[in-house]
Structure 1
Amino acid sequence: MKHRHRHSIGRTAMLSTLLAAVALCSTGAVANAVTVPDNIRVALFADLGSRYKSTTPAATLVSESGMQLMMGGTAVAKIAGGQTIRFAVDGYKAKVLETADLTTAISVLKKIQSSSNAVYVTMLMKNGKAVYQVTEGNYASASAASSALAKWNTAAYTLGAQTLTPASVLGPLAVESGPYDSEAAASEAVTKLGNAGLDAFLAYKVSGGMAGYYVRIGQASDATALSAIQLKAAAEGVTSKTPDAASAYVVLRNDMTVNGAQNKPVNLYSVGTAAGTAITAAPSGDAGIQVVERSKQTYRGNIEISVLNNNLAVVNEVDLEQYLYSVVGSEIYSSWPAEAQKAQAVAARTYSLSLGVGFQIANVVDTTLSQVYSGIKGESAQSIAAVKATEGEILTYGGKAISAVFSSNAGGITADNATEIWENVTNYLASAVVSPDSGPQEGKLNWHRVVLENGTTGYIRSDLLRDSGAENEAGIKLFEVTGDGVAVRSSPQILTNVEPVAKLNKGDKVVTLEIVPEYTVYSWIEAPMTPDELLTAINKRAKTAIEGPLRTLEVSQTGPSGRAIEIKANGKVVDVGYPDNLRGALGGIKSTLFKIEETGRISLIQSNGQTTEKTSSSGLQVQGANGVSSVSGNLTVMGADGKLRSVTPEPSFIISGQGYGHGLGMSQWGAKALADQGYDYQSILKYYYKDVTIEKDGN
C-alpha cells in the first residue's frame, strides 16, 4: 500500500498543474557563458577546527599501477605497483621502547594499540644491526609528548621488556647533511651515521625545480640535544647544519607497524610541519590509489598529503567530472531513471562550484557536509552516463552558480529557507512546494501501534495481526497475534541491534492505538525517548541550558511548509540558533518536519467546559467506581476525537515526522518520481530551483 502525505490529493492536483507549467516553459536550450574548472579538491581527512574535523594519525596508500611521489611538482620517488606506503606527521612523540627484538616491539605495539591508534614500530640500522623503536603519538609540543610518555612508560605497556636506550621524548628537530648527488649516496651516509649509533634518515627536499636528497640526523626535542647530535656527527666526519625551520621536507623511515610480523618494512614518509609542505602521490596508470584509512576506498586522481593544525591532511585532487561519477552514484540509486541521474549530476556539479574553496585546503569534503563521495566504488554505468550527458552544465541565478543544495526526501513538501532552515534569503530555492516523495513507502506494510494488557506500547507489523472479532470491556476492538514469538518493537521497523519491548504468541490480544506506515526516509517514528535522553541532547545544542528535569516538550511554532522553527521545553523557548539545528538537538532526527507526542501530558475538559492540562508531575489521576486513585501505570484513553492514546505516569516523548534532510532544493526521491512520470532533467531542476538558467561551460 502506498502512503501519501495527509494532503496528497490536493497537492497532487497542484503538482500536475505546476509541472505542466514547467514543462511548457522548458525549451531544452542550454546557455554557454560560464567557466567550469577542470579539477576539484576533496578533503578526505582534515582538521579545520569547528568547521570540520576528520583526522587520522597515518595515511596508507597503495596502487596496483604504481605511483610517483611529487613535491612542488617535482618527482622525488617512484613507488612500484602494489607497494604499500604510509604517511605521518613529523612531530613530537613518546619513545616507549628501543629493542633489537622485533617480536618484543610488536608485542608492545599491540598493547599500546588498545589505547592509541597512533603507535608505530620504526626500524633503524644502528651499530651494524637492526633496532626497533616503539613510539606513540603526534604531539604539538615536547611537554605534551612528555605527559604521554609518563603513561606509556609503565610495565603495563612495556611488558617489562629491556630497552637499549632510555624511554624519552623524540621530536622533529634534526641537523642536516647534504644535498647528495643521488638517493644512493644519501643512503650510504645514513648507514655510516647509523653505524655510529645515531638516528639518521633519508630526507627529500625540492629547490629550483630539482629534487634534493639529504640526511636528517637525530630526533631531538630541544636545542641542547640537537647540539650534542651535531657534535657526534662531526666526529664521524659528517658536516651538518641546522636547517631553516621554514623549509619543506619529508623524511623516509622504515615502518614495521603494518608488516612487522612478516619482517617487511613499509616506507613511512614523515611530513614536516613547515607551511606549504606537501607531498603528492600521483598514479602511474589507471588503477587509482587506495586510501586504507578511508574504508580502503580507491580514488581517481592524485592524493596530496600535508599537515594542517598539527594533523595529517589528505586531499584527493581529481577531475571534476570524474568526481561527479562517484557523487551521483553515491547519492542516488543506479536503478533510478536516467533523467533523475542527470538532474543529480547538474545539481551536484553546481553545488560543488558554489562552495569555492569552502574547506581551506579543499573545495569540498567527502561526507554529507558537502555531498557523498566514495571514490571509484561509488561509480556506476548510469552515473557516468548522466555526468557525460550533462558535462559542464550548471545552474545559475543572476549569472552565478547557485548553492544547489538537495536532500534525500523532502517529506512531501520542500522547506522555506528564509524561515525554516538556515534563515537565508535564497530566492532560487522553491519554497513550500509539493514534492512527490512517497516512493520509499512502496511495497512496505503498515504497522499497528498497540497496547498490551500490562500497558506496554509498541509496534507490530500488520501481517502479524488480525481482527479477533472481540472487544474489551470498554467496547474497543481487539486484535490478536497470528504466530508465536512475534516481536513488539519500539518503532515501526525491524532493527536487529535493538531488543523488542515484548514478545507475544498466537492468540494474544492487543488494542490498536493507530496504524502507521513502516519507518522509511519518507515517514518515520522514533522510539519513545526519555526526559533524560532528550534533555542531554537539547543542552548540547541550546545556547542557554534548560534546567531539568524535562517535563514537557512541544513544537511551539512552524514555518510555511509545516516544519518546526521553535520548540519549548518546560514552557521555555529552546534557542539552538538556526531552526535546522533542531534535528541535532532532538537526538539526530531525520528532518524538522515533525511532531512530538507527550505521553505524560493530557488535556482534560472539565464539566464547565474549561480545559485543564495535566502532567505526571501535576498528579494525573483517574476516578473509578471506588473513588479517586493515583495512576500507577500506563493508561489508554479516548480523546474527544474518538482516537485512542497511551498516557504514561512519567514523561515520555515520541517524535514522528516526514522526510530526511533539510528539505531545501531538490528532493532526490521527488526527482525520481518526476522522472518516472516522464519529466526531463531540466524540468525537474527548474521545479526545485526557481528562475534559474542552465548554463554550460564555455571553454
Structure 2
Amino acid sequence: MTKQRSNGKSAKWGKPLLAAAVAFSFLPLHTPAHAAEADNTVRVGLFLNLGSTYKQTTDKITLTPEQAVAVGQKTDAGYIKWFSTSPGAASSFALGGPRVKLGESGDLKAVSALASKLKSGSDKLSVYKIVRNGQDLYQLYAGPYASDKAASDAAARLNANASVKAVSGLAPAAVGTLSLNAGSYGTQAAAAGALQKVLDAGVDGVLRVSSVNGKVSYSVQVGEANNASALDALKVSLAGKLPGIALSVSDGVSASAAVRSEATADLNNGTTVPSYVLSLGQQDRIWIDGAADKGIRVEERSKRSYRGDLEIGVYGGQLYLVNELPMEQYLYSVVGSEVPASWPEESLKAQAVAARSYATVQTQTATKFKVADVVDSTLSQAYNGVGSESKSVNAAVDATSGEILEQGGKAVEALFSSNAGGVTSDPTEVWNSGGSNLFSSVASQSDSAAAANLKKWYHVALANGTIGYVREDNVKDKGTDATGFRKMTVTAQSTKVRPLPLIQSSVSELSKMNPGDEALVLEVVSESNTYEWIRGPYTSSQLLTSLKGRTTTKLPATIQSIQISQRGPSGRATELKINGFKIDVKYPDMFRSALSGLPSTLFDVVSADAYTVITNATASKGGLSAARLTIGASSHANALSRSLASVGTNTSAVSSGTGFFFVGRGNGHGLGLSQWGAKGLADEGETYEDILLHYYNNVELIKD
C-alpha cells in the first residue's frame, strides 16, 4: 500500500481524519507478491575506532559465555578453531605491541600495592602469573604503547618511580614483539609441557596459538626483542640455557595469540583468568562462535550479554568488537532498548517494523562504520543486548517477523525519535536539503502521552531572591494572601529547590527550604519531560564554549542577544542569530549540540534576567493599590515564566545580561515515527499499520 500526500506542507491530522484516511484513502495492507530483500544477519559495532566519525574504544575485551564457546581465526577460506572457553569462565583479549617489562616478583602483596599506586597513571599495568620450578611468580608489564620510543620513554619514567624502586627485583625495560620459536606442537597440552621446561630453565616464554596452512598450530615463543639485532643477540645468549631446544626466528604469522594467566583483576588473592595477547593484521579476524539462545557477557560494555557471535579485529590502530547475529534476535534487544516493554503491543510492533526497516537498509549498503552495519548507540539504534529483551517485546518482534517498509521496491531508512513534541520534523529542518519524500511534517498530538501522570512543580521565589522549583509532593500550598501573592512552604526538612522542574542527580540544588520557610509561588508547571522541557540558565560563557568548533562563524566575546531568525514547517529553528549575526552550522539539527545539548530544535529562548510580577492589589494605609514585586537579582538569575514563550511563534531577539533559558518541546531530530506519539496512538486504539502510515509517506508494508 502506498501513502500519498498532495504536497509537502504540514498536515494537521486529528484522530477522526487519521481514521478516515486509513479507512477510505488506502487499500488494506497485505503480503505482497514480491518479498523484501533483507539481509538475515546484522553486524553491530560494540567497540570501534573510526576517529571523528565514531569512537568507542577499549584496551581489553573480557568475555564470559553462558556456555562453552569456540575461539578461532575467521578467514575468507573458512574458520579455524584455536581453543574453547568454559561456561561461566572469563577470558580477556588485548592487543600486543611495544611494552615495558618491569620484572617479576613472588611477593603478591608488594605487587598488589604497586599496581594500586600505578593505577591512576598513564602506564597501564598488567600482571601475569607463571610457575617457575614450583614457585608462583608474578610478571609485571606496562603498556602497550604506540611505538618503541614511547615504550623506551615509559621505561625511563618507571625506572625513576619510587614505588617501582621499592619492590625488590624490578628493573623496567622496553620490550618488543619479536621472538624466537622454541618448538611447534600439535596440541595445546604438549606445547604447555614444553613451555614449562623453558620457564624452569629461567627463561621467559609464552605459549602461542596461530593458524598455519589452514590448521591450528601451538608453539612456544621465547624473548621479546624490539629489533632484529636484539633478537640475534638473544638467540646467542639462550643457546647454553636451553640445551636440546632448537631456536629459530618466528615465521611472522600475523594472526596469533600469546596465552597467559592474568591476575590483574584480583591481586588480593592472585586469582587468574586466561588472557590472550593478540598479534593481528588489518585483515585478521578472531571469531567467537556464540549461540542464538545463550549470551556472552562483555565486561567492558557495562557487563551486557549478547546473543550470537563476536568478532575481534583491529581498525584505526585499536581493537574492535562486533556482535553478529540474526536480524530478528537483534531486534529483540533494539525494541526493548528503544522503548519500555510495558508499552501497548501495537506501539511495540510499530517500533519493530521501523527498526527492522532501518537495519535492513544498513545491511544492504556500505556504511560509515566500515567493519559493522550499525553501532549499539542511538547513532544507529540503541542495542543493549539480552538484558533489554522481554516477553512482550519479543512477541511484538515475532508478530511482525520479516515486515519492513519499502518505497519503490526498496527498504526505507525508517528514522524515528523519542518525542516529536506535537509535530514531526520536515527534512529541511534536520538536513540542508529536503531529502526523500519519506518524511514530512505531520501533527503528532499523542506525543503528550509523555507528560501524563508526571508530578507538578512549584516555581517559587525565595526571600533571598533565589528562583527555583520544588516538587508538589514536598509543598504545602498556603493560598493567596491579602496582598494578592500566592505563598507556599514545605513539609520536610532540607527540601531541595532545584534550578529546573526535574531531578538532576548531577546538578546541585540552588537552595534548601525547611517547614515554616515561605516562598512566593510564581506558577505551577509540569515536570520537564520529553514532550515539554526547560534547559538552562546558560551564561554567555557556557554557550560560547558549546558553540566553539560547531560553527564556522566568528563568535563574539559576549552573547548579548539570541534570535531565532528562521523556522521550518514544524516551527523548529533552522536559523539562529547571535548579537544580530547569523550562526552557520553544517545542518539545522546541529543547533541541538551547539546549544549545550538541547533535546530538540523546537524551542524558544527566554531571558534569565530579573522580571516583575504584578498582583491585583496590596494592603497599605491608604487601602489597596497595584503591587509590583521584582524577582531575581542578577546574582540569582534563575527566573523564568513559561508563559513568556509560545514555541513556534516568537522569533524576536531575546536580550539578556545574565543568561538564557531554552523552553521547548520534543526530544530528538523529530523525523519519522515519534516513539511517544506511537505509544499515544496505540493507547487510543490505533493499529501498528495505522501508526506507521501516519508517520511515513509513500510506503508499502512488505513481509519477507
Partners in 2 of 1:117 and 1:332 — Cα distance?
A: 41
Contact 1:558 1:565 in 2 (8 A): yes
Partners in 2 of 1:351 and 1:649 — Cα distance?
A: 43
Partners in 2 of 1:437 and 1:536 — Cα distance?
A: 32
1:525 correspondence with 2:534: yes
Q: Under a length normalisation based on structure 1, what TM-score does the superposition of the two structures give?
A: 0.86
Aligned to 2:559: 550
Partners in 1 of 2:337 and 2:404 — Cα distance?
A: 19
Matched AA of 1:22: V
Aligned with residue 139 of structure 2, among 133, 137, 142: 133
Partners in 2 of 1:455 and 1:375 — Cα distance?
A: 49
Partners in 2 of 1:362 and 1:688 — Cα distance?
A: 28
Counterpart secondary structure, 1:448: strand
Partners in 1 of 2:52 and 2:636 — Cα distance?
A: 44
1:382-421 pair list within 5 angstroms: 382-421=392-431
1:141-156 pair list within 5 angstroms: 141-156=147-162
1:175 correspondence with 2:176: no
1:184 correspondence with 2:189: yes
Partners in 2 of 1:480 and 1:469 — Cα distance?
A: 9
Contact 1:412 1:438 in 2 (8 A): yes
Partners in 1 of 2:186 and 2:395 — Cα distance?
A: 50
1:562 correspondence with 2:571: yes
Contact 1:415 1:421 in 2 (8 A): no
CA, structure 1 residues 240+566, in 2 after alignment: closer, same or farther (shift >3 Å)? farther
Deviation at 1:500?
2.7
Contact 2:488 2:518 in 1 (8 A): yes
String of CA shifts for 1:465-519, please: whole Å, max 9, x gaps.
Answer: 53633354xxx63333354544332101233553332334556554444443211
Aligned with residue 199 of structure 1, among 204, 211, 214: 204
Counterpart secondary structure, 2:14: helix
Aligned to 2:370: 360
Partners in 1 of 2:292 and 2:345 — Cα distance?
A: 31
CA, structure 1 residues 576+686, in 2 after alignment: closer, same or farther (shift >3 Å)? same
Partners in 2 of 1:576 and 1:117 — Cα distance?
A: 39
Partners in 1 of 2:528 and 2:117 — Cα distance?
A: 43
Deviation at 1:413?
0.6
Deviation at 1:440?
1.6
Matched AA of 1:119: L
Deviation at 1:456?
2.4
Aligned to 1:480: 488
* Higher mean displacement: 449-458 or 516-525: 449-458
Deviation at 1:135?
1.6
Residue identity (%): 38
Partners in 1 of 2:156 and 2:187 — Cα distance?
A: 41
1:82 correspondence with 2:88: yes
* Higher mean displacement: 325-334 or 258-267: 258-267
Partners in 1 of 2:637 and 2:338 — Cα distance?
A: 44
Deviation at 1:21?
0.5
Q: How many residues align?
A: 653
* Higher mean displacement: 316-325 or 550-559: 550-559
String of CA shifts for 1:156-201, please: whole Å, max 9, x gaps.
Answer: 442611225x211122222334432222222233223323433211
* Higher mean displacement: 507-516 or 298-307: 507-516
Aligned to 1:469: 480
Deviation at 1:23?
4.4
Partners in 1 of 2:293 and 2:36 — Cα distance?
A: 30
Aligned to 1:95: 101
CA, structure 1 residues 129+466, in 2 after alignment: closer, same or farther (shift >3 Å)? closer
Deviation at 1:414?
0.4
1:217 correspondence with 2:184: no
Aligned to 2:620: none
For the aligned residues, what is the CA RMSD? 3.0
CA, structure 1 residues 496+636, in 2 after alignment: closer, same or farther (shift >3 Å)? closer
Aligned to 2:512: 503
1:313 correspondence with 2:343: no
Partners in 1 of 2:113 and 2:490 — Cα distance?
A: 56
Contact 1:11 1:434 in 2 (8 A): no
CA, structure 1 residues 191+602, in 2 after alignment: closer, same or farther (shift >3 Å)? same
1:57 correspondence with 2:68: no
Partners in 1 of 2:343 and 2:136 — Cα distance?
A: 58
Aligned to 1:110: 116
Q: Under a length normalisation based on structure 2, what TM-score does the superposition of the two structures give?
A: 0.86
1:457 correspondence with 2:473: no
Aligned with residue 296 of structure 1, among 303, 307, 327: 303
Matched AA of 2:558: P
String of CA shifts for 1:311-339, please: whole Å, max 9, x gaps.
Answer: 22111111211111111111111111111
Counterpart secondary structure, 1:252: strand
Matched AA of 1:380: S
Matched AA of 2:20: A
Deviation at 1:677?
1.5
CA, structure 1 residues 78+548, in 2 after alignment: closer, same or farther (shift >3 Å)? same
Deviation at 1:282?
2.1
Matched AA of 1:170: V
Deviation at 1:245?
4.4
CA, structure 1 residues 160+637, in 2 after alignment: closer, same or farther (shift >3 Å)? closer
Deviation at 1:367?
1.1
CA, structure 1 residues 443+11, in 2 after alignment: closer, same or farther (shift >3 Å)? farther
Contact 2:428 2:568 in 1 (8 A): no
Aligned to 2:30: 29
Deviation at 1:204?
1.4
Deviation at 1:222?
2.4
Contact 2:406 2:701 in 1 (8 A): yes
Deviation at 1:365?
1.0
Matched AA of 2:419: N
1:448 correspondence with 2:458: yes
Contact 1:126 1:198 in 2 (8 A): no
Partners in 1 of 2:428 and 2:478 — Cα distance?
A: 48
